[in-house]
Every structure is written in structure tokens, then in C-alpha cells.
Amino acid sequence: MRGQSGDAEQGQSRRALTLLEPKAAVSGRAQARSWHPAQGSRRTVVHLSGEPETRVVLGRVARRWPTVRFEAADSAATGVRLVNERRPDLVVLDAVLRDADGEAMVRTLRAGDRCDFPILVLGNDPGPRERARFAWAGATAYVSRPLRVAELDRIVRILLEASA
């Protein structure tokens, strides 16, 4: 009996960590362009970023998602306030913020009143230790730079569909 429930729990953990593993980009750019997250309903994505360049790039990518309301914060304090006000369907968090540690930020977001939204971390380290560190803090997925639009589209779609 224990083996079955342990296997089920382990399978769930494995599925949750699957998003933390690097995956091949969606085949074909046309497939990525034709996808629109959460078609038919307005969804909110909040991006907490320490780098202006990342905010610009992700903002441009988000324009491809007509049903997504995209908002960006340039500091941890502004980001926490925005998350509390907007109640987002997804939070995209840079692993390095100028005024806070990314891992601590994940823990702060998970400690909030409504913390059931997925958290996608954009990091610089593709290694397993960094991914595991954020997974233990409560991140749902981790994507390492350089960012690939098709991969980002695919992961955002999965996370928004899961939070619907």
C-alpha cells in the first residue's frame, strides 16, 4: 500500500519538477505565434524584474498574448504591492532583483494571503542546483537565459492553463 501512495506522491513531484528541466523549444515558430494564452478570458501576468532589458523583452513578448494583462515592477516592494493588488494568474520573477534575493522573493510571495498562482523564475544559471533551490523555495518553473520566445510561450501557456 505504501508503495502505491509513495509512487503517486513521487510521480506528482516528478511532474512538478518536469517544468524545471530545460525542454526543447516548440517546433516551428508558426505554432508559437498561433497560440494565445487563456483564450476567451482575461488573465493577469505580473513580472518582477531587476533588469530593464528583461522588462522590455518580456513586455514585447506579452504583446503577442491578446488576452493577457501584463504588468511589470522594477523593485521587490513594488512587485509585492502589485501582486497583492492584482491577484495575478502568473508571476514571472527574475532570479536576481536589484533590491531583493530572488529565492527570498519566492518565499515572500508564497507566504501571502493568496499564494496559489504559479511562479516562473527567469534565471542565469542553467545548473540543477539553482533550479532545485528555487523549486524548494516554491517556484513552479525555471527558465534559464538566453530566453527563447517559443519556450517562454509554451511554459506560460502551461502555467496559465494550470491556474485556470
Q: Spell out the domain ranges in the chain.
A: 2-162
User: Residue 140 and residue 163: Cα distance in Å, rounded?
Assistant: 11
Whole-model pTM over 0.95: no
145 forms beta bridges with none
Average pLDDT score over residue span 6-10: 42
Separation of CA 159 from chain center: 7
For residue range 56-99, list pLDDT tens digits in order.
888 888 888 888 999 999 999 999 999 999 999 999 999 989 89
Cα–Cα distance, 122 to 48 (Å, whole number): 10
Q: Report DSSP state, residue 26.
A: P
CATH number of 2-162: 3.40.50.2300
Question: Using one digit for the tens of pLDDT, what is the confidence trace for 24-44?
Answer: 333 334 344 444 554 557 899
Residue partners of 44: CB distance under 8 A and separation at least 6: 68, 69, 71, 86, 87, 88, 89, 90
Q: Average pLDDT for residues 11-24, to the nearest whole number?
A: 37
Q: Above 60 in pLDDT, residue 47? A: yes
